[in-house]
Structure 1
Amino acid sequence: DARQLRGLSQKGLGIAAGIDEFVASTRINRYEKGVHEANIVTAGRLAQALDVPLAYFYADDDNLAKMILTFSTLPVAQQNALLASLENK
């Protein structure tokens, strides 16, 4: 997942996203396990801390999440070329 790819602990991510350090680890753990869902503001802060698009958190499955993450790292010219290729199929 994005947090592990960035080498962040749950607490580290929570703190980077502005969550109080005393509850950061627990809150991130609950988000990751699906016990709680972050509101849009918190999700935006998490996305910013992880340098991923907000849409990454709302993907229906792991493959779509990977596609969103990979697509977002491409230069704009490659994104446009890929979109054009997909639209022509």
Structure 2
Amino acid sequence: MNQYEQGSRVPDFETLEKIAKELDVPVAYFFCSSDKLAEMVKIFGGLPESDQEKLLEQLRSSMDKMY
């Protein structure tokens, strides 16, 4: 793990999935470019699928109103 944190090694996808499972986060969490986005991914990933769909619809609706 230390070598991953130091950037001297990069985990393969299978290892990344195992780490994500241990930390209870989606794999996408590791690829977020900001803390806010990472938090959103973690929260979204923890929601039941029906709630994920509702939230996506709300976000789409908000985006449509903005543009």
Pick one of 53, 58, 69 that aligns with 2:26: 53
TM-score by length of 2: 0.72
When structure 1 is superposed on structure 2, of 65-74 and 45-54 the one drifting more is 45-54
- List 4+ stretches of structure 1 deviating above 4 A: none
Distance 1:82 1:41 in 2: 29
Distance 2:56 2:37 in 1: 15
Structure having greater relative contact order (Cα 8 Å, sep ≥ 6): 1
Deviations 1:18-72 (A, max 9, x none): xxxxxxxxxx123234443222121111112222211111112221111110111
How many residue pairs match? The answer is 62
Aligned-residue sequence identity (percent) comes to: 39
When you count helix as a share of all residues, which structure comes out higher? 2
Structure 2 residues without counterparts, runs of 5 or longer: none
1:39 maps onto 2:12 in alignment: yes
- The residue that corresponds to 1:70 in the other structure is 43
Structure 1 residues without counterparts, runs of 5 or longer: 1-27
TM-score by length of 1: 0.58
- Displacement of 1:76 in angstroms is 2.0
Cα RMSD (Å): 1.7
- Displacement of 1:86 in angstroms is 0.7
